[in-house]
Structure 1
Amino acid sequence: MPAPPVISATCKQTRFHLLDDKPSNEVDVQGLSILIGSADQNSNDISSNEAASTKTKDKIKAKLKSKGRELVTDAHLRLKGGRHYGLVGRNGTGKSTILRAMSEKIIPGIPYSTRIAILQQIGDEDQSGHTRPAKSGIENEDMTVLQKVMQSDEAKNNLSQKIDILSAAFEDTDDTFNPIRASRQLKHEELETQLCLAQKNASLRSGSRGLQARKELLAMEAKITASADLLCQSKDDLDPSMFQQETQAAVDLLSDMQSHFEAIRIPDIEREAHNVLRGLGFSEDDFSKSYSTLSGGWRMRATLAGILIQNPEIMILDEPTNYLDLLGVIWLETYLKRLRESSETTLILVSHDRAFMDAVCEETIILRDQDLTYFRGNVSAYENDRKSQQLYWARMQEAQDRQTAHMQDTIRDTMKQGKKTGDDSKLRMAKSRQRKLDERMGIEVNAKGGRFKLNRDLAGWHSTRRDAIEIPADEKAVVMSFPDPDLTELRFPGPLISMEQITFGYPSGSRGLKRAGTGSGMSASSTTTVPVLNEINFSIYPGDRLGIMGLNGSGKSTLLKLLVGQEKLLNGRGTISTHPRLKLGYFSQHSAESLRATGIAEPELSALALMMREVGGTMAQGEVRALLGSMGLPGRIASDVPVRLLSGGQLSRLALSVTLYPRPHLLILDEPSTHLDLDTVHALASALVSFSGAILLVSHDRYLVRRVVEGKVRGIQKNSDDEDYEEEDDGDDDDDESSKRWGVACKRAVYVLRKGKLVEQERGVEQFETSLEKRVNKISYST
């Protein structure tokens, strides 16, 4: 299996950073550069921290550049204590890698004692498929859900392990030297940690600070040597007074650690763990279940609960809503807003859910063009401000262009008249106006927003030229283009798929609980069924836009699997009819994970090679490249980057390409926005709006359902007085006409699957959202 990528970080302030043992919820690092390179090439360890002792930083940076790519260059990473930040940027720009560099203290300037809790987007495995080792002493398969959550705090776990080691040494009455041996071992391990930090400090500093750091390193090495010698001593090497003194020191050490552990207030943490788990959808009975039996989505919830109860200095949540249903999203939104008021924890959040980001975040960090910029406001405020700035500067540029054209005409006429009549005054006037045109055209406002004055705003400068007007440029828009189906292939009218009186359930124990994935305790003779769907009547016609929402475990995925034929109607009754000429495209919520597993199994497999294998010769390579390019995987990304190294968003685009290449008449999409960034979700919505086939969308993303199913541009309520409300009209009229050719009106409807029944929502997403907000308020009140 290939080694994981190596991350390296350097900054301007490196030599001035102190060996600080005081945790901080603030970060201020200037001149930050982060590079990611492959460890498979030549060197397996080229991190700047270890190589800096023999190489200059510039040489290290050049070496890493040749092996990988730079994510940020000369950026300023600034976090204020207690603020909630939203980090935005396109898929593949390195958001997750930068957050990982922060959490692992690869970035210089973050105190090593600062507690950083991170929920990573990919869960327990990194992008290369390497499973991260468990951080607690209890093996994962032996953990209950509650134990997993309680064991998530690494600092508390380390302290608990030290107490257990020292306590066990005192309990061994056969060997009275055991407490001294254990105490010495714990102190030696602490010295080794300090030695690593001293080595890092000495390698990064220069000048007088470097000299002092090297002296401290020599002193620390002497302590390590002395400590190692103590570990080799036996009981016979100690006189009685020293034996008694060290035994008392071990007793004092154990007492101090126990006092510190008691100060953590475990009962309060356990009570908070119960509250958070309930808020994230676990029941009381689930707390004692084995963590290893949970499905991937429920494991992520348990991991998220472990992050939320830690109260660290810095909390990093990378796509926490990926596996949450809408009830969980609204609960987490409420929890984080309360955290902002009651805690000094600094939060960095990455999410594709626009409504969630807007509600939680106070400031926005924009990762763009290998730089970090900041905006005081949420994502929507940032986008509105950027549009306003573009309009403001565009109008100023337009007005100045008109003024410049008028002055040029005047100069030309004055010059012509002066030459014709020999009037030197006119010639001087023309030259004066030309000088004014050359020097005084540009920005007409100063840094404070007032009117620009030359003698005040450029006082003392030799040049009198103003800065040119620059209109803020947008990133190249994300565009997705779905190939339209050939509806004439259907040949005759009728529903594409219909379900009549569908009642379905799983044999008791075969499905297990919704959180347990596969139930291991099922007996072969079990005949009772657990009901999932109850008398479902559902039809999809050409051109329909239908959405299904509901809580996790309500049976949405089961319903889709029955529709696409992945689940057989053996344990139920009813009829499922499919148009005999239907081409169906199905995007599963696990499509990206399946492709990642394929990429790990075949490390050299590229997206282009995978697609060529999928199409099986039905498309030429140029057509496959065009399809991948239309989905946002152009050129070398498709042909040269292994599938295992694609980001989550890129894997989702690849999965969509696999779904769309047959040009299906009906798209069934199960959580297609997972792993996508905000811009890509917008592009996906636009592509779905323009798609001429029928769409069945299952999603917790309120924006996506409102835009695609309800036909709203910005997801604003139809009855709202907001002037920004608009009905979507780009492509929907064509959909209506194509469906009416079969004598059926195009239908738009949002359903909620609840207690096995599909219930149409008269007010769409708003109705479902309101009901969930009431439930969240009840949960919050009861806890």
Structure 2
Amino acid sequence: MVSRLDQPEDEISADALQTETQEAANMLADLQIQIEPSRLAQIEVEARKILTGLGFTEAYLEKPLSSLSGGWHMRTALASALLQEADILILDEPTNFLDLLGIVWLQRYLQSLADKEKPPTLILVSHDRDFISLCTDLLILKDKQLTYFHGDIQTYERSQSERRQWLTKMKEAQDKQKAHMEKTIAQNLKAGKANDDQNKIRQAKSRQKKLDDRWGMQVSAKGTRFKLNRDLVGFFLTSREGIDIPPEQRPVIISLPEPPELRFPGSLISLEKASYRYAPRSPLILQDITLTVGMGDRIGILGLNGAGKSTLIKLLVEESAPSSGTVTAHPRLRLGYYSQHAVEELKSIGRTEQGITSLALLTKEVDGALNEGEIRGLLGTLGLPGRLASDVPISKLSGGQLVRCQLARLFWKHPQCLILDEVTTHLDYETVTALREALNEWEGAVVLVSHDRWFMRGAIEGQIEDQGDDEDEDDEEEEETMRRRIVYRIKGGGITELKNGVEDFERVMEKRVKKLLDAL
């Protein structure tokens, strides 16, 4: 076998090649038999720890994969990727379908990979600002271009603003200098030609050449003096790169409709000692829940998957009736409810009614309450403009576009209360930011279930950066005295108020994650 290594390929017969290949395969199989038992046991232990960190209980670990829902399939695929001994680990929106415990665990687990002898390079796609903070570098994909930045997203946003200001000042200074030089050149040319002074003419042409050829950036991107052969790769007609001021990015703006006034005061929704179980003999999912939602309230609901968050929401919107206790809604309440299954429901509509568009769906639902222009305006403000609304069927829309369509279905009704269950799933960062700010300022009530900590802190707790000038801040402080902001935690069927909001829940999750990671 060894003697054939130097033999030309055309002299190796097909039978000999097949025999030697089979011998190699048999040798590999023998080696695997000797190695695999201990290695398989080690892999199984590690896999169990990763799956546990991602939320699998012992009961779920033993269930056939085919019996699990799509969310658990996604977690299984994520665990499979984490189990690989890879040089490059690519994760695309890994926090979807994870609760906050799973998100914090994954964040800390990925950070711990840096301590390995040969840590993998992590490429992470995510719209969760808190989660993506574990990255040291950013690749921003926008307008078909990639921008590389060393640092976190807050620093990137701040540096972009500062760079725009710096470039603007540099361009203004150079424009003044250029205008002065052009005036001098024109004067020298005129005087030179009038007096046949060749020195002045040459001086004017030399300055003109500098103006045409070497005008522009004097400093490289690293802050050093500009060098043509280093900083301007390729063939160009000039020796300087022009000062190109990036355009001011138009932020996504979401305008929530003003809630109509209630003709008489009272709570919008109230639960009084409400309990819920799926069947008469089944255990209680929720027990003795008392909760009140008033106009202007901001109520956040946190809890692990399966704790009963969505069940509580269904009681509030009266999709389910409590097994005991009462649910009362204001008789004039207009409610907007975004279900965590809203995208799947719209996809189902798209399959049932082939070819129906966002515009057609809303036109049918408003039943004459809005004209076509008003419907188009509403869809346009949510990111479904023009032909995207009128020509593209719902079945062809992306997940984020379907979320926008569903929000339009809620907003046209001018609700006084919005109940949102995992509304940020599928949305891009700009839209999440716009929705966060809009919900924070809206006059109606908001009840929010979300695992996005940054979104919850802004929309519910009111932690919004760059609030504006002092006069605006004074007005907002006056409004805050009238606004109730509460974050609840659901655990063991009960509901408790978190005095420090999301921060308290994060602290509890961090303790649990530390125990899980210590077991790895």
* TM-score bucket (shorter structure): 0.7 to 0.9
AA partner of residue 178 (structure 2): T
Structure 2 residue corresponding to 1:677, chosen from 428, 432, 440: 428
Partner of 2:293: 540
**2:81 matched to 1:307?**
yes
CA distance in 2, matches of 1:603, 1:257: 53
Deviation at 1:565, TM superposition (A): 0.8
Q: 1:579 aligns with which of 327, 330, 342?
A: 330
Query: What whole-Å deviation, never above 9, does each CA across 1:315-369 have from its counterpart, x for those lacking one?
Result: 332211111111110000111112243255443321111111121x233233233
Identify the residue that residue 139 of structure 1 maps to in structure 2. none
Secondary structure at the residue paired with 2:257?
coil
Give yes or no for the alignment of 1:497 onto 2:269.
yes
Q: Is residue 349 of structure 1 aligned with residue 124 of structure 2?
A: yes
- Counterpart in 1 of 2:133? 358
Match for residue 242 of structure 2?
Answer: 468
Contact 2:421 2:449 in 1 (8 A): yes
Alpha-carbon distance change, 661 to 323 in structure 1, aligned in 2, over 3 angstroms:
same
> Could you report, residue by residue, the CA deviation over 1:531-580 in whole angstroms, capped at 9, with x for unpaired residues?
222222211111112211111111111111000011112x222x211111
2:289 maps to amino acid: I
SS at match of 1:687: helix
Q: Distance in 1 between matches of 2:230 and 2:113?
A: 46
Are 2:286 and 2:308, in contact at CA under 8 Å, matched by a contact in 1? yes
- Report the CA distance between 1:769 and its aligned residue: 1.0
State the AA in 1 paired with 2:327.
I
Aligned pair partner of 2:98 in 280, 305, 324: 324
> CA 1:266 to 1:691, structure 2 compared with 1: closer, same or farther past 3 Å?
same
What corresponds to 1:529 in structure 2? 282
Q: Deviation at 1:301?
A: 2.0
- In structure 2, how many angstroms separate the alpha carbons of the residues matched to 1:387 and 1:434? 33
Post-superposition offset of 1:586: 0.3
Q: Is 2:307 the counterpart of 1:554?
A: yes
Q: Which amino acid aligns with 2:246?
A: P
Q: Is the 8 A contact 2:189 2:200 kept in 1?
A: no
**Deviation of 1:726 (Å):** 8.5
Gap change, CA 1:304 and 1:435, over 3 Å in 2? closer
User: Is 2:271–2:290's contact at 8 Å kept on the other side of the alignment?
Assistant: yes
Following the alignment from structure 1 to structure 2, what is the Cα–Cα distance between the partners of residues 537 and 603?
44
Q: What's the secondary structure of 2:392's corresponding residue?
A: coil
Quick check: 1:502–1:534 contact (8 Å CA) kept in 2? yes
RMSD: 3.8
Distance 1:731 1:561, change over 3 A: farther
Q: CA deviation at 1:633?
A: 0.9
Distance in 2 separating the partners of 1:457 and 1:506: 68
| Contact 1:277/1:305 (8 A) holds in 2 | yes
Residue 604 in 1 paired to residue 355 in 2? yes
Return the letter of the residue paired with 1:335. Answer: Y
Query: Structure 2 unaligned runs (5+)?
Result: 1-8
Structure 1 position 668 matched with structure 2 position 419? yes
SS at match of 2:61: helix
Residue 392 (str. 1) matches residue 143 (str. 2): no
1:435 is displaced (CA, Å) by 5.5
* Aligned partner letter, 2:309: K
SS of the aligned residue for 1:506 comes to coil
CA distance in structure 2 between the partners assigned to 1:290 and 1:456 by the alignment: 59
Work out the number of aligned pairs and report it.
Answer: 505
**Structure 2: which amino acid aligns with 1:537?**
T
> How far is the alpha carbon of 1:733 from its aligned partner?
4.4
Cα distance change, pair 311–611 in 1 and its aligned pair in 2 (3 A) = farther
C-alpha displacement at 1:377, in angstroms?
A: 3.6
TM-score (norm 1): 0.58
Aligned residue for 2:454? 703
Structure 2 SS opposite 1:767: helix
Conservation of the 8 A alpha-carbon contact between 1:712 and 1:725: no
Give how far 1:587 is off. Answer: 0.4
How far the C-alpha of 1:285 sits from its partner, in A, is 2.8
CA change 1:691–1:408 in 2 (3 A) is farther
Q: Deviations over 1:279-327 (max 9, x none)?
A: 1122223221233443332332233222222334543322111111111
Write the letter of the residue equivalent to 1:572: S
Is this contact kept in 2: 1:543–1:735, CA < 8 A? no
- Which secondary structure does the structure 2 equivalent of 1:481 belong to? coil
Q: In the aligned structure 2, how far is the partner of 1:696 from the partner of 1:728?
A: 29
Which residue of structure 2 lines up, in the alignment, with residue 96 of structure 1?
none
Q: Specify whether residues 587 and 455 from structure 1 end up closer, same or farther in structure 2 by C-alpha distance, changes over 3 A only.
A: closer
Contact 1:504 1:533 in 2 (8 A): yes
Range 387-396 or range 587-596, more displaced: 387-396
The answer on whether the counterparts of 2:289 and 2:495 sit within 8 Å (CA) in structure 1 is yes
Report what 2:3 is aligned to.
none
Q: Which residue of 2 aligns with 1:291?
A: 65
**Do structure 1's residue 766 and structure 2's residue 485 form an aligned pair?**
no
Mark the CA change 1:257 to 1:604 in structure 2 (over 3 Å): closer, same or farther.
farther
After superposition, give the CA deviation of every residue in 1:449-477 in whole Å (9 maximum; x if it has no partner): 3234799999xx99665321012345543
| Contact 1:595 1:651 (C-alpha < 8 Å) held by counterparts | yes
Q: Which amino acid aligns with 2:437?
A: S
Amino acid at match of 1:260: Q
Does the CA-based 8 Å contact 2:266-2:294 persist in structure 1?
Answer: yes
Match runs of 1:324-473 below 5 Å: 324-342=98-116, 343-359=118-134, 361-407=135-181, 436-446=210-220, 449-452=223-226, 466-473=240-247
SS of the aligned residue for 2:321 comes to coil
Partner of 1:782: 519
SS of residue paired to 1:753: strand
Is residue 253 of structure 2 the alignment partner of residue 479 of structure 1? yes
Higher relative contact order (CA 8 A, sep 6+): 2
TM normalised by structure 2 equals: 0.85
1: CA distance between counterparts of 2:46 and 2:513?
16
Matched, 1:757 2:494: yes
Between the aligned residues of both structures, percent identity stands at 46
CA shift for structure 1 position 630: 0.7
